[in-house]
Structure 1
Amino acid sequence: MEGKSLEVGGLMQQDTGGDIEHLRKKTTNQQDDGVDYERVIKQNMNYFDYLRKAKSGEKNG
């Protein structure tokens, strides 16, 4: 799953021009207590609206 989440996060970051940033917390083999990544959302970005539109196939932006 880490590979897929990394790919999706990278595409989200690219699609939003950096308004959503996907940060890996640790390398794959390190103990991470279940936290593989963190998403940083800029204040002007409506993350849930973005996800709704992305899932429905509607253009964002």
Structure 2
Amino acid sequence: MTARLMEHADQIGAAIPRGRLGEVEDLAGTLIYLASRAGAYTTGAIVPVDGGVATLR
């Protein structure tokens, strides 16, 4: 579904505050936190991993 989007990855990435599209490693840190003892007391939270896109609204 996103194959056509990847043709414009540079343009899309430029519109994101971090200046690039997200990669697997960007999500991995958050997932490790939530699955580890460090995130054991975190419940019902929405953790945006969007490179800052949510701050644009």
User: Could you tell me the TM-score, scaled by structure 1's length?
Assistant: 0.29
Point out the structure with the larger helix share: 2
Point out the structure with the larger strand share: 1
Q: Which of these two proteins has the greater Rg computed from alpha carbons?
A: 2
User: Could you tell me the TM-score, scaled by structure 2's length?
Assistant: 0.30
